[in-house]
Structure 1
Amino acid sequence: MRRSPALEALRFVFLLLVTIFVLAPLVVVLLASITPDEVLTSLVPKGFTTQWISQALDYEPFRVGIVYSAQVAALATVIALLLGTPAAYALARTRVPGAGLLRSVFVAPLSLPRVVAGFCFFALYVSLLPSAYGTVGGVAFAHVLLLLPFVVALVGAGLAGSDPALEEAARDLGASPLQAFFKVTLPQIRMPLLIAGVFSFLTSFDEVDLSIFLMPADTTTLPVAIFLRLQQDQDPTTSAVSSLMIVASLVIALLTGLAVRRAGLWRTGRTEGTGE
């Protein structure tokens, strides 16, 4: 049934408005980081400058925060994948007692305010694990709580779209459960794992509310350093470092898409789904 031109036009206008709503704050931040003025007064910059970016890169807390955030995000992503993938596999392929309750448990951190989660981890570290406070491992372990729901959901969706008969055939041919998983099942869920890893890394790198409870003021992640800088001075250096984070996120997403396309994972997914 062919849609009417009026309905198509209405859908286009709606999508355009949503796109503008999403991109407008990012555009404002990008413009504020390159305009010579300290305050952005119009959407048309009066000139172009890189002084704010240079000042942001010269600011010691920002430089320390970039390294600290990358370390925390990388470690948290690895732990989340190592824990979330077996959990998703158990929920998707085995008969676990109380599977519905376990799914609810994995989703529960999404409904917990991150400030509350941060305070809970702060109380845990101060009372029982004081050596973990402010360390890369301590912050990464707390971030895993936020990343597990996404890993379990994405990997679980990938397992739901894969063919369990192939794994069963591998076991019938003499492969152990681990061999069948790594040689048969894991290649089928490469794309969900890659997406879950990239999403987890970016989510951990950008986390503020939970992280601010778990580190001293002199050693912080980049988002927390930006937050503390805004409390002291609202100059364009914060816009500049935020612009660098926006560009870096877009570059990571682009490189991930190119890697997926180069590896033929999209093509593999379509072939498996259509049975060709």
Structure 2
Amino acid sequence: MLSRQELALIGVTMLWGTTFLIVQNAVAYSGPLFFVGIRFLIAGALSILFFRRAMAGLTRAELGAGTAIGAAIFLSYSLQTWGLQSISSSMSAFLTALYVPMVPLLQWLVLRRPPRLMSWIGIVLAFAGLMLLAGPDTGAGTFGPGEVATLFCALATAGEIILIGHFARHVDSRRVTAVQLVAAGLLSLVFMPVMGETFPAFSWVWLLTAIGLGLMSCMIQLTMNWAQKSISPTRATIIYAGEPVWGGIAGRIAGERLPALALAGAAFIVVGVLVSELRPPLRRKRCAEAGG
């Protein structure tokens, strides 16, 4: 039987999967940086409201940690939103999922922690899926700007996860959550003139979508913080691996159709994500034999 926490994370993952299609519709009425900025400022304001008592104890270290994580979130969501202007929500969901096998590679490069065997197998499977997703219509094995931006989005998401893991034990998660959401929103608006993006004409579509996604982002973060107190990171990541599947289902309901080769690549990526988080019982077995 699934616990309440596991059911909650499954619900969160289903919500995540639908956001790809929602964002894709919203950016038809707004530039990507403006939309990301408004979305996260709303989420940040709600977090400050919910955590207003805890915010009084904000430290300089927490401000720095939240800003660093917020910068990674800004890169991740801005690149993903920009990519959604030219690729399908289903393709975006599966490419974004590559952040899971990217994490052990970044840990190896930055923290000098070599990947485990299962991580290597997951990386190989995910890379094979990536090759199948590359140019499925033409068979050319090339990416357009939207796909490339989404790959960098996955890389930024992997960096975000590593940063969260680095700071988690030394900060208050409530205060850092609020800071990172506000930082991501502010950075998005600040970079608008740098990227030549102007403020869009008013539309209820981008406004209501930004408010809805802001509420959703705040609720998702609160649920994750609550559920992962009693669920292992490995178990949680396996649940999160369903995100691109739900994104693909939402896209198909909306009329998107990925070619057969792309669907095979998507399957390879999901399997690679799952395999990279498996823990063989060898070490546990050896410990039991040593104790017996």
Report if TM-score (shorter chain) is over 0.5: no
With normalisation by structure 2, the TM-score equals 0.29
